[in-house]
Amino acid sequence: MVNKLRLRYSKTGKAKYISHLDLMATMRRALTRAGVALKYSEGFNPHPYISVAMPLSVGLESDCELMDIGLATDSKVVDLPERLSGLLPEGLVITESYTPLRKFSDISWLEITGVLYYDKAMPDDLAQKLMQRYSCQNILISKKTKRGMSDIDISPHIRDVEFHGGEKITFRAKISAQNPTLGPDNIMAALDDEYERLAPDYAAFSRYELFDESISVFR
């Protein structure tokens, strides 16, 4: 049986450009530097047990990342969040470490925040117009799936939507984390055709919190 430890961490600023695979290697090295002995797989090419809850795309920030690691029996995990944070690149900070009680598959909702930037002058009621768009009964977007592109209605998979501001719009919403997995790009994809004039010139998003099916915080 693997002795598991769950790390909660944020990935912001310059670190948002570290890809998922590179992040795994970066974490592995930092854990080694921190003196944490990892459990390795058997076989021809042994690798440590490291698993990330929902791989984050490049360019997206997060304050609520989760990673499970398998520990060898003699691991030093005292004060791990502080020690490990001091051994990581800029923008990666470990906020908690604990023994996991729940499975990643219990994660259902993801709260995200974002800032939408517009280069041209926009109407004063832009935030309201955006709210209206995301209050529609049927919000069809085209999404990449295993079977190629397909149209899905995201309205049941997005809730508690908020848009505020004028020239720069702040956004907050809870979106489906798994089955289907939605990301900010899927949400922004709703701003096409007749809504294209509402689409920002640039937008930056961040994951804020994870929830289970009953909208309780997931740890």
For other proteins, the binding residues (CB under 8 A) are 13-15, 17-19, 21-23, 25-26, 28-33, 40, 44-46, 58-59, 87-91, 117, 202, 204
Q: Which is nearer to other proteins, 119 or 151 (CB)?
A: 119
- Between 131 and 204, whose beta carbon lies closer to other proteins? 204
Please report how close the Cβ of residue 70 comes to other proteins at its closest, in angstroms: 13
d(CA 131, CA 176): 18
* The token pair that represents 124 in the structure block: 């004063």
Question: Least distance in Å: CB of 22 to other proteins?
Answer: 5
For the bound state, the minimum distance from the C-beta of residue 13 to other proteins, rounded and expressed in Å, comes to 7
Q: Are 110 and 211 in contact (CB under 8 A)?
A: yes
**DSSP H or E run through 169:** strand 168-176
Nearest approach in angstroms of CB 89 to other proteins is 5
Element housing 132 (H / E) = helix 126-133
Q: Which residues pair with 203 in a beta bridge?
A: 116
Pick the closer one to other proteins by CB: 55 or 156. Answer: 55
Tokens 């997060």 correspond to 62
Closer CB to other proteins, 140 or 204, in the complex:
204
What does the DSSP 8-state code read for residue 185?
Answer: H
